[in-house]
């Protein structure tokens, strides 16, 4: 079936519902007279509900070649989020399935959360709270604490979120280093540098790159050895970027001072992983969240499906090498 064909009714299925409701999606598809359903996130239920679906709305479920082969009418997979590491892009392209994401829905939220983790770690906020609750008082065990204008912050990746974070940090007077091989000109207020040099020089390293085969364990034992012993690692991007075992070892032996992360390779973390590890601050994969961001994600992901199935160019097509058939609308 070609996109944009005159069809009275399309079917859209949500693979895994993680939002408070799907009112945005239901309203949009009901207005068009399309069928809409929500699966429970299991493979069998997705196949049962989407075997005749034209589109999937997806959050965390892996959209594999095997799954797509069970959905012969599938034309588009729209991810609610930014990353597409849970979608087999090559398989989608081979099968003529458009994949879209929403790359700009939670930029402020993630940048703000990264800033919160940075300030907490560098100003020792949680450490101070823990000290007081244990009956202590004063600065014993909290020193050294340096003023923000003396910090060197290394940003690994310099896309939308990292650039927003750099804007937040600029008024504090931090020196900002950037490593991103895909950015030719990072701008006048930051210094572009190779990764090893950034790790050696930074008081704080914040990760802002997608999870791919090339970036898996981007920060492992060797990279942690390069970091300063008083340095802090922050990760609000993808858990797979950091070798969890190497990070835990580095923290337990004092190789780096602390880490503050919102994402892990395994979520939630395995039992016992955090026991006694007070130099690791963890939040539960919440950096993306605000009420406004979720509503924006739902609206934009939904709009991509509507555009593709009605023959219009999607705003956020990921597999841009997609070979479109005659009569279909190419991606911009």
Dihedral sign computed on CA atoms, order 126, 18, 288, 182: positive
CA–CA distance, 312 with 327 (Å, rounded to integer): 11
Active site residue 267: yes
Please, which residues have CB within 8 angstroms of residue 2's CB and are 6 or more apart in sequence? Answer: 325, 327, 328
| Token pair belonging to 303 | 């709009």
Reduced to 3 states, what is the DSSP secondary structure of residue 325? coil
- Structure-block tokens of residue 27: 């309203």
For the CA atoms of 60, 66, 71, 77, the dihedral, rounded to the nearest 10 degrees, stands at 40
End-to-end CA distance of the chain: 22
Task: Say whether 31 is catalytic.
Answer: no
- Identify the H or E element spanning 197: helix 195-201
Among the listed residues 113, 163, 201, 238, the single catalytic one is 238
> How many Cβ atoms are within 10 Å of 223's Cβ, its own excluded?
22
Active site residue 225: no
- Find, among 39, 101, 100, the residue nearest to 70 by Cα: 39
User: For residues 107 and 125, what is the distance between their CA atoms, to the nearest angstrom?
Assistant: 24
Q: Among the options 51, 70, 228, 285, which is catalytic? A: 285
CA proximity to 37, closest of 55, 67, 16, 12: 12
Task: Give the span between the Cα atoms of 256 and 113, in whole angstroms.
Answer: 21
Backbone phi and psi for residue 280, each to the nearest 5 degrees, phi listed first: -115, 115
- Single out the catalytic residue among 66, 194, 225, 267: 267
Instruction: State yes or no: cis peptide before 144, omega within 30 of 0.
Output: yes
Q: Is residue 18 within 8 Å of residue 285, measured between CB atoms?
A: no
Q: How many CA within 13 A on the CB side of residue 99? A: 26
Active-site positions read: 238, 267, 285
């Amino acid at each position: 079936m070609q996109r944009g064909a005159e069809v009275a009714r399309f079917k859209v299925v949500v693979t895994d519902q993680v939002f408070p409701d799907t009112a945005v999606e239901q309203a949009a598809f009901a207005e068009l007279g399309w069928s809409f359903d929500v699966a429970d996130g299991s493979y069998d239920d997705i196949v049962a509900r989407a075997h005749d679906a034209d589109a999937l709305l997806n959050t965390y479920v892996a959209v594999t070649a095997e799954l797509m082969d069970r959905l012969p009418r599938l034309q588009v997979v729209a991810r609610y989020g930014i990353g597409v590491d849970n979608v087999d892009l090559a398989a989608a392209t081979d099968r003529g399935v458009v994949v879209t994401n929403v790359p700009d829905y939670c930029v402020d939220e993630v940048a703000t959360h990264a800033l919160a983790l940075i300030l907490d770690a560098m100003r020792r906020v949680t450490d101070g709270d823990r000290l007081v609750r244990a009956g202590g008082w004063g600065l014993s065990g909290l020193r050294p604490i340096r003023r923000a204008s003396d910090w060197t912050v290394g940003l690994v990746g310099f896309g939308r979120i990292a650039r927003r974070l750099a804007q937040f940090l600029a008024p504090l007077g931090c020196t900002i280093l950037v490593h991103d091989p895909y950015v030719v000109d990072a701008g006048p207020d930051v210094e572009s540098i190779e990764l090893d040099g950034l790790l050696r020089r930074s008081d704080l390293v914040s990760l802002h790159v997608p999870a791919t085969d090339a970036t898996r364990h981007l920060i492992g034992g060797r990279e942690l050895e390069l970091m300063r012993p008083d340095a802090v690692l922050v990760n609000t991007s993808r858990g797979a970027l950091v070798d969890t075992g190497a990070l835990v070892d580095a923290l337990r032996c004092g190789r780096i001072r602390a880490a503050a992360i919102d994402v892990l390779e395994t979520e939630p973390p395995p039992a016992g992983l955090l026991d006694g590890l007070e130099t690791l601050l963890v939040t539960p994969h919440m950096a993306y969240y605000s009420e406004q961001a979720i509503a924006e994600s739902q609206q934009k992901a939904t709009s991509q499906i509507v555009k593709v199935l009605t023959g219009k160019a999607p705003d956020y097509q990921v597999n841009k090498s997609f070979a479109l058939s005659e009569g279909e609308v190419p991606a911009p």
